[in-house]
Each structure stands twice: as C-alpha cells, then as structure tokens.
C-alpha cells in the first residue's frame, strides 16, 4: 500500500495531515514517509527471495542521513558515486562489504579511500582506471575487487540525459572490448575480477528494455567464462522506473489523459528480468535508487499568487527549481495536487516557481482544481533526485526535510537560514 492518500478531502502521509506539517514546519519542505521507504525496499527484497543477491541502494537518489540509516538497518547494501557518498554510507551504518563504488571519473584519493575501507567492489569504467586502481592497491599492499562496467549499446525509452547505456554515452566499455580488457586485467597482480556491471539508464519503464540488457549480459558472461575469466557476480545496476502520473487519486482530481506508467512497478520490472539474469549463474546485484525513495517523498509548497496571463493562468508557488530541478532539467512529470480538495472547477494552469528562469516550473498546461493564494500544494513523488539536487540559486535557502512515522512527524533537516548562505 502506498503511504500518501486522500482521506476524505485531506491528503495524508501515513497518519498525518500534510496541512499540519506545512503549518508547523513551513514551506517549501520535503516530506518523507518512513514506512514507504521500508516497504519499497522490502518489495524488492521479496522478489529476490531464495536468490543469491545483494541490493545496493544508489545513495545519489537521496542521501538524507536518516533515510540512509533506515536503509542500512534493512540489511541491504549501498552504491556510492563519490567519496562523500561513501563516507555518508559508512557513517549511516552500511557495512563496507556491502558497498559498491560506481562512477566514470573516480579520483585517486577516492579509490584509496575505497580500498582502505575495504569496500566490496569498484565498478570500473575503463582500462586506464583498472591500471590506476591496481597501482593504488599495490601501494596499499592490498587487492582491489572490481567489476567491469560494460556498455551494451541498448537504447532506453527514458530522457536522453538519463540514458547511460548507448555507445554515445560516456559510461562503460564497449562489449567488443570487454573480453580483451578483462584478459589483461586477470594478469594484474593487485586486481581481483568479480564480474561485470551494467546500468542502462534511469526511469526505464519497459520490461523489454531490461530483458534485452539481461540477455546481452548473460551472453557475455558465457563468453568470458569460456575464456577462463572468473565471473562470480553480475551487477545489473538500477533504473527501475516508477509511476509518477496519477499517483494519488480522488474523484475531485483530474485523471491524466495518457498514463503509460499505470502498471509500472519495480516488482513487475524485476520479475520480468530475473529469469534471464539468473542464467548468468552467479550472485546478482542491483543498484536501485529511485524505485526505493521516489514514492516516499513529496515537496510541500504554498501558493503565493494567481496571475492571469495571455490565454493562461499562472499559479506562482514558494518552491522553485532550486528546490526540485527535475521538471526543468529533464521535463519530468510530477503530479501537483492541493493538500485539501474543495469541490471547485478544474482549470488549465502553469505551476511555476519564483526564480528568474523560464525553466522554473513544476507543471505546464496542467488541469488542476482551482487554487487560491495561501493554499498548500504537494508536488508528488519527489523523494528521488529531489533534495540532493537542490541548490542556493537565486540566494534561496534549501528547504527543510521532514520525516513522518505513523502519526508523528519531525524535522530531520532544518531549513537553511539566510545567514548560512
Ligand atoms: C551506476 C548507477 N547505478 C544506479 C543508479 C540509480 O538509478 P535509479 O535511481 O534510476 O535506480 C544510477 C543513477 O544514475 C547509476 O548511475
């Protein structure tokens, strides 16, 4: 069960009225449901029941310390993309043997930090990186465990900025080069090869895209084993899409005319791909980010002004692209709903922020129940790539973060003050 729903006309997170949070903590503010984070994590783990696997939460999706502690407590691992994320993951209680380190440009000090902390593996992206890791491992008199990230040139139906698995993208090495690179790496004295890694993009919603990637991986694993390259792990990455449209429903809310995401769940996507991936006959790793935290979070904001434009109405709110940049960066869709639904006509509006950028919007040409100055709105499904991508642009303090647990809520990150800017 999802944790945000309208009870009568009031939007609730778990047992708390979101209007109470807005009134007590102010806006803009991110709100997270603790139970939602736990549930999404468990749903994934349940799909893997009986399968040798490790889910490593992609810390980049939301690195709030309380959320990290919560996920570490679930016993899963973490995938980090920098020394900062690694530090945060270790501090939150993820055990180092469940941490993977991904990224196309790892610095020497980051590699050294990873090796000194004896993390499970580094997902490497080039032959030169393997050499550098080998040298740093030699200096530390240790061995580095690596997986080679392979780019299978698989196009996905997501936004071009979050497609990572085609030959035009900077990520991984081509399938044609993988075997030779690994044959040379096997001979390196301070390198242990665990397997191969792939991550084809984010917010992928078609099972067939994942199945195509899994088929390519399995074929490569067989080829590599025939060449005596040891493969004990396949890391399939993350990218499992989530439903953003029509996430909360009510008879007073409009329904999106096209909703291709209606049946998108991580459980469905993973269930479709696991039979193929299992043919690799080894430990399976995944690195889900969005699919664990997107539905857990919303951005609360308040209507500052209504403005009639030429042929359209602007709803100007107190949150902006500095708080949630996904719509501006990727033209991402977020459902925007009033926290309290009145029986009023729907109107077509642009929901925009206060920043000096035309790209500062949350919804364009969107049908919504009519709202007035002072009304609170929720930008739904903002738990992933929300606060982590926030900034102080236009001299705006970052918003507060609030955690809901049952009937209680508490501020877990104070709103930045003007003095902290
Ligand atoms: C290497 C890697 N793994 C996992 C993820 C997480 O992706 P998602 O949040 O779509 O699950 C990312 C995100 O970009 C990534 O780059």
User: 102 CB less than 6 Å from ligand 1?
Assistant: yes
Over residues 268-283, the mean pLDDT reads 97
User: Residue 170: what pLDDT?
Assistant: 82
The token pair that represents 412 in the structure block: 């877990």
Residue 10 lies in a domain: no
- Determine the distance separating the centroid of ligand 1 and the alpha carbon of 80, expressed in angstroms: 10
The token pair that represents 241 in the structure block: 């899409």
- Determine the distance separating the centroid of ligand 1 and the alpha carbon of 78, expressed in angstroms: 11
Pair 303, 411 in one domain: yes
Question: What is the residue range of 357's domain?
Answer: 295-420
User: Residue 195: what pLDDT?
Assistant: 98
**Residue 260 binned pLDDT confidence (cut-offs 50, 70, 90):** confident
User: 62 CB less than 6 Å from ligand 1?
Assistant: no
Residue nearest to atom 5 of ligand 1 (CA): 238
User: Residue 365: what pLDDT?
Assistant: 95
Percent of the chain at pLDDT exceeding 70: 98
Per-residue pLDDT reduced to its tens digit, 196-211:
999 999 999 999 999 9
- Determine the distance separating the centroid of ligand 1 and the alpha carbon of 185, expressed in angstroms: 25
Pair 119, 248 in one domain: yes
User: Residue 274: what pLDDT?
Assistant: 98
User: Residue 181: what pLDDT?
Assistant: 97
Residue 85 lies in a domain: yes
- Determine the distance separating the centroid of ligand 1 and the alpha carbon of 375, expressed in angstroms: 35
Per-residue pLDDT reduced to its tens digit, 377-401:
999 999 999 999 999 999 999 999 9
Domain count, the chain: 2
Residue 17 lies in a domain: no
Pair 248, 325 in one domain: no
The answer to whether residue 154 scores a pLDDT higher than 90 is no
**Phi, then psi, of 68 in degrees rounded to 5:** -65, -45
The answer to whether residue 163 scores a pLDDT higher than 70 is no
The answer to whether residue 168 scores a pLDDT higher than 80 is no
Atom of ligand 1 nearest to the CA of 294: 9
* pTM for this prediction: 0.96
Percent of the chain at pLDDT exceeding 90: 91
Quickly count: other Cβ atoms within 10 Å of residue 35's Cβ.
18
Q: Which residue, 290, 322, 356, sits at the end of a domain?
A: 290
Residue nearest to atom 12 of ligand 1 (CA): 238
Pair 366, 239 in one domain: no
User: 61 CB less than 6 Å from ligand 1?
Assistant: yes
Residue 5 lies in a domain: no
Ligand 1 binding pocket mutation candidate from 199, 210, 296, 384 (most atoms within 8 A of CB): 199
Atom of ligand 1 nearest to the CA of 61: 9
- Determine the distance separating the centroid of ligand 1 and the alpha carbon of 201, expressed in angstroms: 7
Residue 79 lies in a domain: yes
- Determine the distance separating the centroid of ligand 1 and the alpha carbon of 162, expressed in angstroms: 9
User: Residue 159: what pLDDT?
Assistant: 67
Pair 44, 152 in one domain: yes
User: Residue 259: what pLDDT?
Assistant: 76
Pair 114, 150 in one domain: yes
Which residues are annotated as catalytic? 356
Pair 283, 368 in one domain: no
User: 238 CB less than 6 Å from ligand 1?
Assistant: yes
Q: Which residue, 290, 316, 344, sits at the end of a domain?
A: 290
The answer to whether residue 347 scores a pLDDT higher than 80 is yes
Atom of ligand 1 nearest to the CA of 290: 9
**Pairwise pLDDT comparison (79 vs 170), residue with the higher score:** 79
Pair 321, 286 in one domain: no
Find out whether 145 and 122 touch, Cβ atoms under 8 Å: yes
Pair 193, 144 in one domain: yes
Residue 353 lies in a domain: yes
Looking at the DSSP bridge assignments, the partners of residue 403 are 32, 410
Q: CA-CA distance, 25 to 182, in Å (whole number)?
A: 53
Q: Which residue, 290, 322, 341, sits at the end of a domain?
A: 290
Residue 380 lies in a domain: yes
Residue 275 lies in a domain: yes
Over residues 226-235, the mean pLDDT reads 97
- Determine the distance separating the centroid of ligand 1 and the alpha carbon of 391, expressed in angstroms: 21
Pair 244, 206 in one domain: yes
The answer to whether residue 357 scores a pLDDT higher than 70 is yes
CATH number of the domain to which 338 belongs: 2.40.37.10
User: Residue 261: what pLDDT?
Assistant: 80
User: 58 CB less than 6 Å from ligand 1?
Assistant: yes
Mean pLDDT of the residues in the chain = 95
231 Rama sector, left if φ>0, alpha if ψ -120 to 50, beta otherwise: beta
Over residues 134-149, the mean pLDDT reads 98
Pair 129, 39 in one domain: yes
Ligand 1 binding pocket mutation candidate from 289, 296, 297, 389 (most atoms within 8 A of CB): 289
User: 334 CB less than 6 Å from ligand 1?
Assistant: no
CATH number of the domain to which 151 belongs: 3.20.20.10
Quickly count: other Cβ atoms within 10 Å of residue 196's Cβ.
29
Ligand 1 binding pocket mutation candidate from 202, 240, 269, 288 (most atoms within 8 A of CB): 202
Pair 247, 316 in one domain: no
Q: What is the CA radius of gyration of the chain?
A: 22
């Amino acid at each position: 069960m999802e944790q945000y729903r309208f009870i009568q006309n009031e939007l609730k997170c778990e047992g708390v009225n979101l209007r109470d949070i807005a009134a007590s903590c102010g806006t803009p503010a991110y709100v997270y449901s603790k139970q939602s984070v736990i549930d999404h994590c468990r749903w994934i783990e349940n799909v893997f029941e009986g399968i040798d696997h490790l889910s490593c939460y992609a810390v980049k999706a939301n690195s709030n310390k309380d959320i990290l502690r919560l996920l570490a407590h679930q016993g899963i691992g973490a995938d980090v993309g920098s020394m900062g994320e690694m530090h945060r993951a270790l501090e939150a209680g993820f055990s180092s043997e469940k941490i993977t380190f991904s990224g196309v440009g790892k610095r020497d000090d980051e590699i050294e930090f990873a090796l000194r902390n004896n993390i499970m593996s580094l997902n490497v992206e080039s032959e030169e990186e393997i050499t550098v890791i080998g040298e740093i491992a030699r200096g530390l008199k240790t061995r580095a465990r690596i997986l080679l990230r392979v780019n299978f040139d698989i196009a996905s139906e997501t936004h071009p900025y979050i497609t990572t698995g085609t030959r035009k993208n900077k990520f991984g090495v081509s399938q044609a080069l993988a075997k030779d690179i690994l044959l040379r790496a096997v001979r390196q004295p301070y390198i242990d090869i665990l397997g191969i890694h792939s991550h084809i993009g984010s917010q992928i919603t078609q099972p067939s895209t994942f199945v195509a990637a899994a088929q390519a991986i399995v074929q490569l694993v067989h080829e590599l084993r025939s060449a005596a390259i040891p493969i004990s792990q396949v890391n399939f990455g993350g990218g499992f899409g989530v439903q953003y449209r029509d996430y909360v429903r009510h008879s007073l809310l409009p329904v999106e005319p096209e909703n291709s995401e209606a049946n998108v769940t991580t459980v469905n996507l993973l269930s479709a791909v696991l039979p193929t991936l299992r043919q690799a006959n080894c430990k399976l790793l995944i690195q889900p980010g969005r699919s664990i935290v997107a539905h857990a979070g919303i951005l609360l904001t308040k209507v500052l002004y209504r403005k009639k434009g030429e042929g359209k109405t602007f709803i100007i709110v107190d949150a902006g692209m500095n708080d949630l940049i996904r719509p501006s960066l990727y033209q991402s869709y977020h459902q925007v709903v009033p926290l309290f639904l009145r029986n009023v006509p729907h109107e077509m509006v642009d929901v925009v922020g206060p920043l000096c950028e035309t790209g500062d919007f949350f919804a364009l040409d969107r049908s919504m129940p009519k709202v007035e100055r002072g009304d609170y709105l929720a930008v739904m499904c903002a738990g992933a790539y929300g606060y982590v991508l926030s900034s102080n642009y236009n001299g705006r303090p970052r918003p507060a973060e609030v955690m809901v647990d049952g009937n209680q809520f508490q501020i877990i990150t104070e709103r930045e003050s003007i003095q902290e800017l």
